[in-house]
Amino acid sequence: MFKVTRRGFMVGCSTAIATMAGGLTYTAFGSANDEPNHDILVVVFLRGGMDGLSVVMPIDGQDRGYYEANRERLAVPASGDNAALRLNSLFGLHPGAAPLFDLYQDKKLAIIHAAGLTSDTRSHFDAMQYIELGTPDSKSSAKGWLTRHLETMGGLPNEVIVPVMATGGGQPTSLQGSREAISLTSPDDFSFSGNWRWRDMQRQALRQMYSGDSSWLHAAGQQTLDAVDVIEYANPGDYTPENGADYPNNGFGRGLQTVAQIIKMQLGLRVATVDFGGWDTHQSQGEGGTGYFSSHLSDLARGLNALMTDLSNSNGTDHTKRLTVVVQSEFGRSFRENASRGTDHGHGNVMFVLGGAVNGGSVMGNWPGLGPDQLYDRRDLAITTDYRRVLSEIMIRRFGNPNLGIVFPGYSDYQPLGIVRGGDIPPNYSDEPVDATPIPDPGGTIPGGTTPTPTPTVTPPENMDKRIYLPQVNR
């Protein structure tokens, strides 16, 4: 088995590639031994404050009455045309989210309601920062929660080449301070481009220029050059989703597709983020479960379903077994609709967790009710499940990372809701990290889980000998 280390890959010499040329297959590039067992967390952030009460709403009982009274025009019907899809005796799902309903019925989607950030803020920007830094009511952390999770989760051997990525042009606050995260819109676009005759020499020169110091800018430049080498070497080519997966044709759909592509490339991905904006629906949300919100939600549902479908069978490998996707937004919206047929900034919201190890098919959490006295500040859905409770469970059960004291400082209320399967280990609330157990019990706690055999599907580019930075091969 070839072992290619990331650092070696970056600084290796061209003689190494001579050894590799011809015989190297794609799986040697990542970490064929370990990778298929490792879990992948994809965090989807819905920017703008998604109206969770339009996604999962009461369909019966007293709360249905409150809902219809407060959502005179926006309410999704409980029966008849365009009716909510029945989740259980109390709740229905917006009909625009039908592709999620399929996952729910397959028990791959869990819904957590009345969840969110408990800080007393209705500011988008405060709320997003608090959530993504993992430090409610404080913005002083230099690192995002995912950065700290990656730093303490263990199980990241050197040969892992792309442990973390952000899709889209930027890097979200949850990955703030990570020097390993690469951001990319699509692997196909992630090339240096430039004049064919000079670009390799330019890249060589840039690497020297950006190695000359250790400032943040030099680090960012090196990181960029590393990422270009990695992606180019992996030779993504044109990507065709598998199993009939149908991604929406927008930035969100492309982001998810990029995640699927990188997962299949087996570069050791552990964490990815995907952003989806356009949820700040102060006006014209769409009435009776139709209109803008419905089609936007439909893109969300289609995209998530496509990701699961695409990864469910890639040359016999079911990547969804090690995939957990979390969907969250900075806050929910006001219970009462406003005069513009929209909703204003609110509080509690719905969260989704989907993936192969999810105890799906149920709505979880404590429902606080929608009566006037049950509302937060007498106007919004209350929060009964701290968003950190959901994320902590995934950290511990799927990643074996007990270091809650570092990832969510000040949070000491670990109580798994049973959203995902996996082993429970005692949480570590201190700021002294303890070793993580990368996989609590690989294979065993994932029902039906077997170690999939990675299938080499991609061969290195033919012009490998023209490259400047080549992997160093250790046998």
Partner 1 sequence: MTQETSEVLTKDHQRSVSRRKLLRNAGAVVAITAAGAVTRPRIIEGQDATPDALAPAMRSARRQIAAVDAAAAPDLPPLEVIVFNRMAFGPRPGDLDAFRRLGADDQSRLQSYVNQQLNPAAIDDSACDNILARQGFTTLNKSLTQLWTEHAVADGISWEDRQRPYRETEKATFLRAVYSKRQLNEVLADFWHNHFNVYGDDRWASPVWVHYDRDVIRGNMLGNFRTMLGMVAKSPAMLYYLDNESNTSAGPNENFAREIFELHTMGAENYLGVVSDRSQVPVDDEGRPIGYIDKDVYQATECFTGWRVNDETGQFYFDEAEHSRYEKLVLGVSIDDFLGEQDGEIVMDLLANHPGTAHYIAGKLCRRLISDSPPESIVQAAADVFYAQRNAPDQLKQVVRTILLSDEFRQTWGEKVKRPLEYAVSVLRASNADFEPNDRFRWSYSGMAQNLFRWHPPDGYPDVKEAWTGTMSILQRWRHCNYLIDWKYEDGPMKDQLRLPIETQMPASKRTPNEIVDFWSQFVLGRALPPAERQPVLDFIAQGRNPNFELTDEMIQERLRYMVALIFMSPSFLWR
Number of Cα atoms under 13 Å in the Cβ half of residue 461: 15
Residue 158 vs residues 6, 34, 42, 183: alpha-carbon distances, Å:
6, 12, 21, 20
Q: Can you tell me whether residue 9 is helix, strand or coil?
A: helix
Among 64, 218, 421, 467, binds partner 1 (CB under 8 A): 218
Among 269, 364, 391, 396, binds partner 1 (CB under 8 A): 364
Closest approach, Cβ 435 to partner 1, in A, equals 6
Cβ distance to partner 1 smaller for residue 225 or 245: 225
The answer to whether residue 254 forms part of the interface with partner 1 (CB under 8 A) is: no
Rounded-to-integer distance, Cα 463 and Cα 452, Å: 31
Q: Which residues of 261-283 are buried (b: 16+ CB within 10 A; e: fewer)?
A: bbbbbbbbbbbbbbbbebbbbbe
Among 362, 437, 455, 457, binds partner 1 (CB under 8 A): 362
Is-contact 354 103, C-beta < 8 A?
A: yes
Cβ distance to partner 1 smaller for residue 97 or 112: 112
Is-contact 110 352, C-beta < 8 A?
A: yes
Cα 359 to its chain centre, rounded Å, is 18
Cβ distance to partner 1 smaller for residue 55 or 245: 55
Among 296, 302, 321, 345, binds partner 1 (CB under 8 A): 345
Is-contact 107 361, C-beta < 8 A?
A: yes
Among 70, 135, 312, 428, binds partner 1 (CB under 8 A): 135
454 DSSP 8-state letter: P
Closest approach, Cβ 288 to partner 1, in A, equals 18
Site for partner 1 in 374-403 (CB under 8 A): 374, 376-377, 382-384
Interior angle at CA 254, CA 95 and CA 395, nearest 5: 80
Q: Can you tell me whether residue 131 is helix, strand or coil?
A: helix
Q: Which stretch binds partner 1 (CB under 8 A): 28-36, 150-158, 310-318, 456-464?
A: 150-158
Rounded-to-integer distance, Cα 252 and Cα 257, Å: 9
Site for partner 1 in 399-438 (CB under 8 A): 405-406, 409-410, 417-418, 431-433, 435
Site for partner 1 in 17-46 (CB under 8 A): none
Percent helix, strand and coil across the chain, each to the nearest 5: 35, 15, 50
Cβ distance to partner 1 smaller for residue 87 or 97: 87
Q: Can you tell me whether residue 428 is helix, strand or coil?
A: coil
Closest approach, Cβ 22 to partner 1, in A, equals 29
Site for partner 1 in 156-215 (CB under 8 A): 156, 158, 166, 168-171, 176-185, 189-190, 192-195, 198-199, 201-202, 204-206, 208-215
Q: Which stretch binds partner 1 (CB under 8 A): 78-86, 153-161, 318-326, 453-461?
A: 153-161
